[in-house]
Structure 1
Amino acid sequence: MRRAINYVPDRHSGLILAILPFVFLMGIYLVGSDARLSANPDDKLMPGLKAFFDAINHLAFTENRRTGEYVFWTDTLISLQRIFIGLSISTVLAIVIGLPIGLLPYLNRLFGPFMAAFSLIPPLAVLPILFIIFGLGELSKIVLIIFGVAPFLIRDMAMATLAIPKEQIVKAQTLSASSWQILIHVVFPQVLPRLFDSLRLMLGATWLFLIAAEAIASEGGLGYRIFLVRRYLAMDVILPYVAWITLLAFLMDYFLMLGSRAMCRWHHIR
């Protein structure tokens, strides 16, 4: 008797199955929107598709008369710049700090408990402190992302390094490898796939930190725009922006997966 776990969809079936939940969700929304608009044509809670298209056309393809910018794309570039700078710095810190903590016993005893405690501090709780110290400009928003992401990545890299079999470290030493060579040639290649996975898992939190910072003090960005128009109940702007943020996060996750497969081919061989 064949069990359910042995039924594997082919490529086309898998694609259809992946799309079905989105189609189902969109269908529910359209039915609900049509019902609300039939009862009240001025309803703003669930606007129809035409309202979405009109709002996006105005923001993305109509030049702002005051600034001369295309608001949608300007917001996107501002937010992506903050995200990339924050994630890049966090990744470098994870490699430079996390790997030595996991490899060197003295550093592990000295900084391991500290990083474990530091990674548990809620980043949004210290957001007012960051604004006081770094001001309301770009720096505070990037620091918030680093504060929220880097400690987690550092701790995860240290734990991944500690999980490497000791036999490999011993064998490298018998071949006269220095601590630096072990770090570069033994440890780093093995934790690199874990780093990609950790970055993918932190994308949701990263966008959360960014939007929170943009909502409180900013003059541009996707989060800023969402909280700016909420006072007008402009769901025709808010919902497309939320969908766009989700798509951007999905694309970032996809490219990280491609990067992992390109740089860690041995890890993805099944």
Structure 2
Amino acid sequence: MPRLVNLYPSSGGALALGALPFLILIAAYLFSSAARLADNPDDKLLPAPSAFVETLKSYAVEEDKRSGEVLWWLDTGASLKRLLIALSISALIGIVGGLAIGALPVVRSLLGPFVAALAMIPPLAILPILFIMLGLGEVAKIALIVFGVAPCIIRDVSLRAGELPKEQLIKAQTLGASSWLLATRVILPQLWPRLIDALRLTLGSAWLFLIAAEAIASTEGLGYRIFLVRRYMAMDVILPYVIWITLLAYTMDWLLRTARARLFPWAETR
């Protein structure tokens, strides 16, 4: 009898297994919604699917009467702009800081404990400080995401640099490689896949910090819209927005995973 750890589903079976939890969740929601609406047709906690269709039509197709904008795409564009800028800055800081700490023992002794301490500070705890110092504009929101994400990326990348075989570094030095060439030609190329992995692992946190910043001080954005309509218990708006955020985050993760496989096939595991 084959062991469970040696059983691999076919491509179709894997697809069916992956879809099963989603189908169960959808079925549970439809059943619960129908039961609640049967008892109270005005129930707002679990709206009927028709309410979601109306919301998508109102927010994603029709222009808002006050602003003249299509709110769904206005919020999406504002949030993605903030998130992509913050992740780009975090990636740059992460690769430079991780390379320096991982490759240079002096820098590791100087900045390693400091970066580790920064990574332990809850980013949401310093949100009021950022708003006081940087104002309520875009800079504070982007800074919050960078503060929450960059130290984790630095630590992850530097750990990867420390995992490289010592024999590899010794051979490069034997062939005459300077510290600069050793860092840029030997260590750095092997850190790019880890940087992408670190970005994927911090995507969820980045979205969390973005939503929190937009909920407190913003006039547009996915987080702003969710917290704006919560006072009306508008679950027909909140749930589609949450699902949309999830789809955006999953798409970003898929793009990063695909980029890693295409750009660095040598780093892929079977």
User: TM-score, normalised on structure 1?
Assistant: 0.98
Structure 1 partner of 2:156 = 156
Structure 1 partner of 2:119 = 119
AA of the residue aligned to 2:249: A
- Corresponding position: 1:104 with 2:109: no
Structure 2 partner of 1:83 = 83
Rounded to whole Å, the distance in 2 between the matches of 1:151 and 1:75 is: 28
Rounded to whole Å, the distance in 2 between the matches of 1:91 and 1:128 is: 24
Rounded to whole Å, the distance in 2 between the matches of 1:69 and 1:180 is: 51
Q: How does 1:16-55 map to 2 (within 5 A)?
A: 16-55=16-55
Structure 2 partner of 1:196 = 196
Structure 1 partner of 2:170 = 170
1:87-140: CA deviation from partner (whole Å, max 9, x where unpaired): 000000011111011101111111111111111110000000000000000000
Q: Give the C-alpha shift of residue 269 in structure 1.
A: 5.3
- Corresponding position: 1:256 with 2:256: yes
Structure 1 partner of 2:232 = 232
Q: Give the C-alpha shift of residue 183 in structure 1.
A: 1.3
CA-based RMSD of the aligned residues comes to 0.8
- Corresponding position: 1:265 with 2:232: no
Q: Give the C-alpha shift of residue 186 in structure 1.
A: 1.2
Rounded to whole Å, the distance in 1 between the matches of 2:2 and 2:28 is: 35
SS in 2 for 1:119: helix
- Corresponding position: 1:206 with 2:194: no
AA of the residue aligned to 1:115: V
AA of the residue aligned to 2:175: L
1:143-175: CA deviation from partner (whole Å, max 9, x where unpaired): 000000001111111111111111111111111
AA of the residue aligned to 1:81: K
Rounded to whole Å, the distance in 2 between the matches of 1:203 and 1:23 is: 25
AA of the residue aligned to 1:174: T
AA of the residue aligned to 1:126: I
Following superposition, which runs of at least 4 residues in structure 1 exceed 6 angstroms of deviation? Answer: none
Q: How does 1:120-159 map to 2 (within 5 A)?
A: 120-159=120-159
SS in 1 for 2:170: helix
AA of the residue aligned to 1:18: G
Structure 1 partner of 2:221 = 221
Rounded to whole Å, the distance in 2 between the matches of 1:4 and 1:100 is: 44
Question: How many positions carry a matched residue from both structures?
Answer: 270
Moved more, 222-231 or 172-181: 172-181
